[in-house]
Chain A
Amino acid sequence: MNFFEDIEVGQRREIGSFTFTADGIKAFAVKFDPQPFHLDEEAGRKSLFGGLAASGWHVGSVCMKLLVADGQRRASEAAARGEKVAVWGPSPGFRELRWIRPVLAGDTISFIGEIESMRISSSRPQWGILEARNAGTNQKGEPVFSMLSTAFVPRRNAGA
């Protein structure tokens, strides 16, 4: 993972893609969001979604899953090159999350991350705060998901 100083506004990265299966959609919905259009094909078809649709929280959690995998991949690559690996802090949250289109059973969603803003924390100057747009697009190229995530990123020389 990068340090604050390695990051620039406008940097864009492909995070990975994920195929939502009917079984996966239902398994998440049974536990966390058992609305009929997330559990039953027929109810999904009759709903505004037009088919069995993944819970929005499932889509967000999958985005997180891909972000973690991407971060771990990058960290191990950096470690293999003998570089110091930055450990990011816990996220304080996000804003402007949009479920733009339904994610239906069989859809493959590809996610990207793009840095939108960066600043140094005034209360904890050893940390930088960045906002990244995480967005998902389906196999037809249609946007389905977007959110602006906040992250705490360590500065390179802080506490070294």
Chain B
Amino acid sequence: MHMDRVEIATKCGHNQASRKMSPIMKSLVFEDFKPGPLGRFGPRHVTAEEIRAFATEFDPQPMHLDEEAASRSLLKGLAGSGWHLCSIIMRMMFDGFIGRTASLGSPGVNELRWLAPFRPGDDITLDVEVTEARVSRSRPTTGIVTLKAVASNASGQALCEMVSPIIVRRRDEAATGEAP
């Protein structure tokens, strides 16, 4: 999705046309998000190499890096960093729907719980539900969509649960940049 946009932008030389074309690439707008289940995404396979690479850069604690130390820790075996799982969830949401949503970003996360460790070899599934969708008072061309996302492993054990709002353009706003 992004590569398409980059190619279009390059062709148009970052001129007005490129700006006008981007909304048609973003097919989901605020009005498409109604309270209720949004979808199940994944599975996303996670390798030991990825777990170690993320941990080396951002969370170099022994239970994320070293089999032996991890087996002695409270996590009872090598487990990925909680922030790695958050980042994987972000990517799964991007691939699942945010990549084609007229999203303007997120102001934060209301609550996030790490419920169980994620392990090398896990296949992660993400269930996303819209818990609230309302028009922004301060910026009425946008809406605020609150999402609840639950990441689970292949045996159905919930690993992480988060509630987070995203800001999404409303349809009228998205329609102002129609392509020829």
Contacts and interface: CB of A to CB of B under 8 A. Distances in A.
Interface of A: 28, 31-37, 39-40, 42-43, 46-49, 55-57, 60-62, 64-65, 68, 72, 89-99, 147
Contacts of B112: 93-95, 97
Interface in B52-94: 54, 57-61, 63, 74-75, 81-84, 86-88, 90-91, 94
Interface residues of B, number: 42
B103 A65 contact: no
A40 B6 contact: yes
Interface-centre pick from A39, A89, A92, A93 (highest chain B CB count, 10 A): A93
B19 A56 contact: no
Contacts of A60: 83, 86
Interface in B80-121: 81-84, 86-88, 90-91, 94, 98-99, 103-114, 117
B2 interface: yes
A90 B86 contact: no
Contacts, number: 110
A46 B5 CA distance: 14
B46 interface: no
30 contacts: A34-B91, A35-B98, A35-B99, A36-B5, A36-B6, A40-B6, A46-B19, A48-B105, A49-B105, A56-B105, A57-B83, A57-B87, A61-B84, A61-B87, A64-B58, A65-B57, A65-B59, A65-B60, A68-B60, A68-B61, A72-B60, A90-B75, A90-B117, A92-B113, A93-B113, A94-B111, A94-B112, A96-B108, A98-B108, A147-B109
B11 interface: no
A97 B112 CA distance: 9
Nearest to A146: B108
Given A61-B58, A61-B59, A91-B114, A34 B94 contact: yes
Contact of A99 (B86, B90, B106): B106
A60 B54 CA distance: 13
A35 B5 contact: no
Nearest to B53: A31
Contacts of B84: 61
B14 interface: yes
A16 to B, nearest CB: 13
A99 B94 CA distance: 18
